[in-house]
Amino acid sequence: MAAQPETDWNSGLCDCFEDASTCCYGFWCGPCIACTVSERFGENRFLPICDICGPVILSFCGIPLAVPPAVLSLRVAVRNKYGIKGSVCKDILAVSCCGWCAWCQMHRELKHRKKTPSVINVQNQTIVQMQPAPVVMAPGYQPQSVMMAPGYPPQSVMMAPGYTPQSVMMAPGYTPQTGIVSPAGVVAPPQ
């Protein structure tokens, strides 16, 4: 599989004013934008809670946490999925210095990727309509017999012009005048 060429982020880390709605969303409700980005990317909606609650819990245990794990892992995943230039070191620097700007940048990137149309190649499909093969009879061919159902008078049979059957097969005991055949082959009178 050929590697796709790496591209840059759709917007810079501090380009919040390119998309005012994302800027306001991130400024006034930072945890909300973090949960939205996480969900849009296909991760658990509450993954960013690790960044909010993790440092508080770990500080009570005496363990300092400088790099928020959820925003870092999600930023690296977005970068790898869309082939965006960068490195883990740059991602650590971005999320450590300005985590909310990183969330806003990922939000803008996902919005941009959602709007970008996908090119789909559709090939025309050949539709074949199957019809029964035509039947060709040799000139002058005449069938030797025609079988008719009981009660079907041969006087009303429509035949092609010039067609004369050699013989007509009928059920045992059938007579065109009565039209009824009994099970024993005896002609029953019409009712």
| Exposure letters 16-50 (e unless 16+ CB within 10 A, then b) | beebeebbebbeeebeebbbbbbebbebeeebbeb
78 assigned to some structural domain: yes
89 assigned to some structural domain: yes
pLDDT digits (tens, 9 = 90+) for 4-59: 778 889 888 888 778 888 888 888 888 888 899 999 988 888 888 888 787 777 77
In DSSP terms, which residues pair with 18 in a beta bridge?
Answer: none
Per-residue pLDDT, 77: 93
Write out the residue range of the structural domain in which residue 26 sits: 16-115
pLDDT digits (tens, 9 = 90+) for 158-177: 556 665 555 555 556 555 55
96 assigned to some structural domain: yes
pLDDT digits (tens, 9 = 90+) for 97-122: 888 889 899 999 998 888 655 555 66
27 assigned to some structural domain: yes
Task: Give the helix, strand, coil percentages of the chain, each rounded to 5.
Answer: 40, 5, 55
Dist. CA 33–CA 22, nearest whole Å: 8
pTM of the model: 0.55
Asked whether the predicted pLDDT for residue 182 surpasses 60, the reply is: no
169 assigned to some structural domain: no
pLDDT digits (tens, 9 = 90+) for 63-107: 777 788 888 989 999 999 999 999 999 999 998 888 888 989 999
Q: Name the domain count of the chain.
A: 1
Per-residue pLDDT, 172: 61
